[in-house]
Structure 1
Amino acid sequence: MYFDPLYFVFALPPMLLGLWAQFKVKSAFKKYSQVRTQSGINGAEAARRILQRGGLGNVTIETAHGMLSDHYDPHHKALRLSDEVYRLPSIASVGVAAHEAGHALQDKTGYLPLQLRSIMVPAVSIGSNLGPIIFMAGMFLAGTIGTTLAWAGIILFGATALFALVTLPVEFDASRRAKELLVSQGIVSPAEMQGVNAVLDAAALTYVAAAAQAIMQLVYFLTIMNRRNS
């Protein structure tokens, strides 16, 4: 099973897509990190303006360690921006900051996909790690016990695939909100949106790749189970 050629049929295409997505997001961010916003507004200022416009003055804006480690923490109502995004007045910085502020707006309005994703986090943290291990253990065992274990692994990992799918509308909607607010709040001009689009669209591609990888791995597990039952 470790050297099953069929695995590469399922794993290689989404893996290549993921590598391409990572290249795109890094190159787009690097390029537009060097393009200063005409307004002179940096990422932290852009996020604060959007949050205040949305009545979210209670959300704190903090710095986070690591490149592109930006995220919104719904439990602590904190928007954490990487150092470069926080301080630089670049098109890439305001685009990323606005995207994360979009998640805060989703949280305020009770955006359903975001709520579902938050609920699923504990199950996903278990399923993504234990699911494949339990599945492989079940495949090595014969009889009902092995079959039961294999299906348990599939169900656990299935939560990971579902999480990746639920993540897509969450991220797409946050980018949509960001693009609208950046222009309406005067943070960037319509002409600068080309750079914002390049950065956020590349970031969105990474989530598409992650979903594809999870789904294809799940399909592979199901294919192996079908082969076993045959």
Structure 2
Amino acid sequence: MFYFDPTYIILVPAMIIAAYAQMKVNSTFAKFSEVQSINGYSGSQTARRLLDSAGLYDVPVELVNGRLTDHYDPRRRVLRLSRDVFYGTSVASLGVASHEVGHAIQHKESYSPLRIRNSLVPVVNFSSNFAWIIFFIGIFMANSLLADIGIILFSGAVVFQLITLPVEYNASTRALRMLKSSGTLYDDELKKAEKVLDAAALTYLAAAFMAVSQIIRLIAIKDRSSND
């Protein structure tokens, strides 16, 4: 006999949204990767131009392996673009590249949500490794305090996902504004780039929803254990 934990039902809506978000970002990026920008700038050229215009001459743009692995590294102050974005001249590539520039500018300006998120990284790294272990030790030992500590530790991951939302949306807003003001993309192109960024933002919404669902599940497991 296999044991089915009914609390898994709590995660089902989040799992469905996460699957849809991943499908949406992949399909949207693929669709608009076929739409070449009129000016013909590549993602790396666009990133370099926008970084320079923001006074970030010392932030290099590097190629990174993988697909849609684009990111800005605040510790090393390096902007890394995946091959499709680095060399691509599509509106999708330029949208993603400029989004990462948005993060670099946030870092330069000490954008508060980004600063808070970065400060949470070591906390989340610790809590993600030990929250579940401590929680389930508490459940098996019928120790309510340990279970509560596990829930509190996991809440750090929830806060991290929630604070990520304004960081990502702000980076996208900055990206579209820069693409327009620099004349890199024109009106119709900007709308298509915006669709790519909106699809990417959905993945962060899904991650936040999943984190909230997980902590609700932990509370449900603890309550059920207390009643047994």
TM over 0.5, shorter chain: yes
Q: Aligned with 2:72: secondary structure? A: strand
CA distance in 2, matches of 1:69, 1:48: 18
Number of the residue aligned with 1:39? 39
Describe the superposition over 1:109-141 as per-residue Cα deviations: whole angstroms up to 9, x where unpaired: 110110111111111112223212221121111
Counterpart residue number, 1:206: 203
Q: Which amino acid aligns with 1:161?
A: V
Match for residue 7 of structure 1?
8
Matches within 5 A, 1:67-82: 67-82=67-82
- Name the structure 2 match of 1:56: 56
Query: TM-score under structure 2 normalisation?
Result: 0.95
8 Å contact 2:7–2:221 — kept in the other structure? no
TM-superposition CA deviations, 1:68-97 (whole Å, max 9, x none): 010001111100000110011111110000
Partner of 1:20: 20
Aligned position for 2:97: 97
TM-fit CA distance, 1:49: 1.2
Q: Aligned to 1:136, what secondary structure does the other structure show?
A: helix
Distance 2:129 2:138 in 1: 15
What residue identity is the alignment partner of 1:121? V
Which of these residues, 190, 193, 211, is aligned with residue 187 of structure 2?
190
CA distance in 1, matches of 2:214, 2:85: 34
Which letter does structure 1 place at the counterpart of 2:120?
M
Give the equivalent residue in structure 2 for 1:160: 157
> Counterpart of 1:46 in structure 2: which amino acid?
T
Identity %: 46
Return the offset for 1:197: 1.2
CA RMSD across the alignment: 1.1
Question: Per-residue CA shift, 1:173-227, capped at 9, x if unaligned?
Answer: 0000001111111111011122101110000000000000001110111222233
**Structure 1 position 228, deviation (Å):** 3.4
In the alignment, the residues of structure 2 paired with residue 78 and residue 169 of structure 1 have an alpha-carbon distance, to the nearest angstrom, of 21
Q: Is the 8 A contact 2:7 2:220 kept in 1?
A: no
97-106 or 83-92, which moves further after superposition?
Answer: 83-92
Choose which of 153, 163, 170 in structure 2 pairs with 1:173.
170
Q: 1:56 aligns to what SS in structure 2?
A: coil
Alignment TM-score, normalising by the size of structure 1: 0.95
- 1:30 paired with 2:27, answer no
Query: Which amino acid is the alignment partner of residue 189 of structure 1?
Result: Y
1:116 aligns with 2:113: no
Structure 1: 5+ residue stretches without partners = none
Q: Secondary structure at the match of 2:79?
A: strand
Q: Is the 8 A contact 2:18 2:206 kept in 1?
A: yes
User: How far off is 1:62 after superposition?
Assistant: 0.4
What is the alpha-carbon distance in structure 1 between the residues aligned to residue 91 and residue 85 of structure 2?
A: 10
